[in-house]
């Protein structure tokens, strides 16, 4: 199974990433459709692939947060898909009740538009 990961991908929240894969290194840009940044802002992606698994990170810079996705890519009945779980860590918080709000986790499904 060969899946071309290069190019644009969109998740269920309408966030988009534009990936470039060379050997096992992933780079590109991410545009989020949720949260504080406007969709027009682009953030750098860096990551790795190993067989059909992928991990990548986005630094949201001045917004004080980092997000990491890990998952696997495959072909399903619709076409190429990347199934991920993500963690978003925010710099705000510090007290125990704030920590629950400072680290978020979810799932994401990316497909080529």
**Model confidence over 19-41: pLDDT tens digits?**
999 999 999 999 999 888 899 99
| Residue stretches of the chain with pLDDT short of 70 | 1, 92-100
Structural domain boundaries enclosing 101: 7-111
The answer to whether position 1 is within a domain reads: no
The answer to whether position 104 is within a domain reads: yes
The single residue listed with the structure tokens 């986790």 is 105
Domain tally, the chain: 1
For residue 23, what is the domain's CATH number?
2.40.128.30
The single residue listed with the structure tokens 């860590």 is 89
The answer to whether position 44 is within a domain reads: yes
């Amino acid at each position: 199974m060969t899946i071309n990961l290069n190019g644009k991908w969109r998740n269920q929240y309408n966030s988009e990433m534009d990936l470039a894969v060379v050997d096992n290194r992933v780079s590109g840009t991410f545009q989020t459709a949720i949260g504080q940044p406007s969709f027009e802002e682009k953030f750098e992606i860096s990551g790795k692939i190993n067989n059909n698994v992928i991990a990548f990170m986005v630094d949201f810079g001045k917004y004080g947060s980092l997000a990491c996705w890990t998952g696997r890519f495959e072909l399903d009945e619709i076409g190429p898909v990347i199934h991920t779980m993500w963690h978003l860590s925010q710099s705000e918080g510090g007290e125990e009740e704030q920590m629950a709000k400072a680290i978020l986790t979810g799932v994401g499904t990316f497909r080529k538009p």
